[in-house]
A and B are shown apart, each in its own frame.
Chain A
Amino acid sequence: MTGKPASLLEVRDLTATFHRDGAPSRVVNGISFDIAPGEAVGFVGESGSGKSVTARAVMRLAPEGSSIEWGGRIRFQGQELLSLTEREMRDVRGRRIAMVFQDPMASLNPVMSVGAQIDDMLVRHTGVSTRAARKRTVELLGLVGIRDPAIRADDFPHQFSGGMRQRVLIAISVSCQPDLLIADEPTTALDVTVQAQILRLLMRLRRELGMALMLITHDFGVIAGMVERVYVMHRGDIVESGEVDTLFAAPKHAYTQALLAAVPRIESTRRPA
């Protein structure tokens, strides 16, 4: 690849300030980053590092029940997201930028069949007929690896296992062919073998649909195989960023070094005494 492609997402001096009990607390301290079209970028950090809030900033979603103030600039495909009205923003969410969360059960409507939920999304964002939407829904469920998608489309979320639910959620998120998929700890709640399946699915969809991926995780193992570039976050700042191979091979910042050193290794023979 020669020459850097124009940015899909360009974030400059992003700040996020929570307002609770009257006292403002800043959780993201003016960070800047870029994501190119089709690129996979990882954000890694511990709890409280601001990585999830950063992901939500791009969707302009405040965590449940809190008020948050954004600052700085978020340009997506040349459009300034922070100055859009809420109505205009709704058109961006789901259609151009989609998000997958950690807890698939909480993100699905428990009293609606999963097929109906995807139909809804398609009808709302692409304006197709209900019948055309259902055809696409079945395709999508098949695409994310659900067997007998035409039958399972009529099942309710509780009839799926955790991993299958996450597949459904991914089907919903890619239904409108977004240009950017944000995945916030998408496999943290899953078993390790299911995690591997979901990671493979995300890789495949990214390739097939040409989406950019913004992956948020605390797990260095997950991030290692999924992205081209990594941003390491600590207490609201980006402390280090770089190509994934370089960063893992030779972390420069002391914090990154400490984190990497603490990761338990399955092949190590650090034996108890």
Chain B
Amino acid sequence: MTDASSRLRSRGQLLVAIGLAMLAVLLLIVALGPSIAPYSPSATSPNSLDGPTALHWLGTDSIGRDLLSRLIVGGRGTLMITFVAVALALAAGLVLGLLSGYVGGRVDLTIMRLLDVVFAFPVFLLAIAVVAALGPTVKNLILTIAVVYTPAMARVVRGPVLSVKRWDHVEAARSVGVGEFAIALRHVLPLVVSPILVQTSLILANTIFTVTALSFLGLGPPPPDPNWGSMLAEARQFMELAPLTVIGPAVAIVFASLTFIVLANGLREMLDVGSR
């Protein structure tokens, strides 16, 4: 271990700590959602497009709904979709990547070719096409995002599996009589978690953008449930009258993506991923 790498590690630890603190805020919003919002997100007040007041800390939107409450409840929707979709992509990517890398040969070839087909399309265009075709429901949105991010996940699992499966301890386990399934799960998978963690964080950051962008285009969960993307779309026309209605969701989106980018960079430096 050299000086430079130990410095990187402690910097990574700091970034991870910051990232985890930011993630805690996001998770609180998801967990508590409506119960910490001061108002119901659909309750209107007579003062529309109001600036910040003692009653409405961030002001109100065009039909007088409390902006802070809508940000909290809307964040819950956006983040839920993100987490579930990425969890599905992670699960599929793990299975496909491990199968592809560990079994190798024809299985590897087939899986990677199929994933290449998905991978060949720009993520966002593919998502628009699928959601537009199937209809903008929460379920479709989640499934689409899971599908478009599965190839990236599978690749990031497959790479290190290819090298770890050639390590001596794997041969040793095989010579002891451990079955192939157990070898893959116990002797290979635990040694490839670092790059997977980093990639998962990065994909979470991307997914936040994808979800909000789709909602912004009207392909997100249908109204009246608020989410950051549709809030941004609604507020756009009143941008000059009430800048907070735009700034609020924008800052929230940036904060959420930043959380995962900070986490990913921190993990990368802390776990020394990529210097292999």
Q: Do A and B come from one complex?
A: yes
| A20 cross-chain contacts in B, Cβ below 8 A | 1-3, 6
Given contacts A22-B6, A65-B4, A67-B3, 5 further A-B pairs with CB under 8 A are A20-B6, A21-B6, A65-B2, A66-B2, A66-B3
Find residues 82-112 in chain A having any chain B CB closer than 8 Å to their own CB. none
Instruction: Report the number of A-B residue pairs with Cβ-Cβ less than 8 Å.
Output: 16
| A21 cross-chain contacts in B, Cβ below 8 A | 1, 3, 6
A124 contacts the other chain (CB 8 A): no
Say whether chain B's binding surface is mostly helix, strand, loop, or mixed: helix
A35 and B5 alpha carbons, distance in the complex (Å):
38
| A67 cross-chain contacts in B, Cβ below 8 A | 2-3
Find residues 125-147 in chain A having any chain B CB closer than 8 Å to their own CB. none
A19 contacts the other chain (CB 8 A): yes
A67 and B6 alpha carbons, distance in the complex (Å):
13
- Which residues of chain A have a CB within 8 Å of any CB of chain B? 19-22, 65-67
Q: Write 16 A-B pairs (CB below 8 A) sorted by A numbering.
A: A19-B3, A20-B1, A20-B2, A20-B3, A20-B6, A21-B1, A21-B3, A21-B6, A22-B6, A65-B2, A65-B4, A65-B5, A66-B2, A66-B3, A67-B2, A67-B3
- Which residues of chain B have a CB within 8 Å of any CB of chain A? 1-6
- In this complex, the member of A21, A22, A65, A67 whose beta carbon has the largest number of chain B beta carbons within 10 angstroms is A21
A165 and B6 alpha carbons, distance in the complex (Å):
35
> How many whole Å from B5's CB to the nearest CB in chain A?
8
> How many whole Å from A28's CB to the nearest CB in chain B?
19
A65 and B2 alpha carbons, distance in the complex (Å):
6
Q: Which residue of B lies closest to A22 (CB)?
A: B6
Q: Which residue of A lies closest to B4 (CB)?
A: A65
| A22 cross-chain contacts in B, Cβ below 8 A | 6
| B5 cross-chain contacts in A, Cβ below 8 A | 65
> How many whole Å from B106's CB to the nearest CB in chain A?
31
> How many whole Å from B4's CB to the nearest CB in chain A?
7
A21 and B9 alpha carbons, distance in the complex (Å):
11
> How many whole Å from B247's CB to the nearest CB in chain A?
44
A19 and B1 alpha carbons, distance in the complex (Å):
10
A74 and B164 alpha carbons, distance in the complex (Å):
45
Q: Which residue of B lies closest to A64 (CB)?
A: B2
A21 and B6 alpha carbons, distance in the complex (Å):
6
